[in-house]
Amino acid sequence: MSVIILNKEKNVTSFKAIKDVQKEMKFKKAGHGGTLDPLATGVLPIFFNSSTRFIEYIANDSKEYMAEFVLGLSSNTEDITGQLEYHPNSKEPSKNDIDEVLQSFIGKIKQLAPEYSAKKIKGVPMYKLARKGEKFERREQEIEITSLDLIKYDYPNFSIQVNCSKGTYVRTLGCDIAKMLGTTAVLSDLKRTRFGNLSIDDSISFDALKNLDNQAKMQYVKRVEEILINIPRINISSTEVNKFRNGSKVEPENITKTGQFMVFAQEEFLGIGKVEEDMKVQPVKVLS
């Protein structure tokens, strides 16, 4: 039951990042939650072996980012990795202008995913369609911005800190902010500083990890139940463990409400269960 909070470095795909850590840690299987573009750095939770079955339970967690943008530029990818176009007559907004516009984005808003993104249309990632020059219609999706603050402004560069829901494209957010300011922008740097309850302060870079001995490496390996702390826990008796593992309903201890829970027998994590109206636990995801 192993999870590492990686601080992904720049210019590395999320796929390569997990494979590098998997090889270094000698785990048989690995998966990650919340893909980061190669340009981005920061928190990338990597789940190993049987823990990969629980990635879905952090998928909807909110995230925090630090992002930097350059005003007066545009790009087909909305960031500096794409085909850049300079707009010399762009408006130079004031700090007060930016602060005012940022506040208008707080709450639930609609956002169009960028053409160069992994969002799929009929099973095909949009970036593949865009690279082929194919035309397609992007669909709006609802996202939620819970906080959005201007950290630094030195025209043409500005930096923001944003707390947002799953599915938020920060580069698109920056472009939409610039549009409301009467100009354009591209993302120049992005760091994910929080993923749910996982902080960048608890992460480790791959370079640092590979220079540790095996005992020191294990200090950065967390149990999956430490990652899923937003899910409440219940206990079952030791006599019910085999029934739970075999997929049968069991009687929980001291439960008064329905819903999804982490299921334990004493301090042993068994999996995820759902307490139904009969106040019994139906196994949903059992730790193998």
Q: Catalogue the active-site residues.
A: 37
Q: Are 73 and 160 in contact (CB under 8 A)?
A: no
What residue has token string 């035309």?
Answer: 135
Residue 157's DSSP bridge partners are: 70, 154
- Residue 147: how many other CB atoms lie within 10 Å: 12
Whether omega before 156 lies within 30 degrees of 0, making that bond cis, reads yes
Contacts of 251 (CB under 8 A, 6+ apart): 236, 237, 240, 280, 281
Residue 286's DSSP bridge partners are: 271
Report which of 37, 81, 79 is spatially closest to residue 185, judged by C-alpha positions. Answer: 79
Q: Is 129 helix (H, G, I), strand (E, B) or coil?
A: helix
What residue has token string 């008064």?
Answer: 256
The CA distances from residue 60 to 97, 106, 228, 271, in Å, are 32, 19, 12, 19
Q: Are 119 and 171 in contact (CB under 8 A)?
A: no
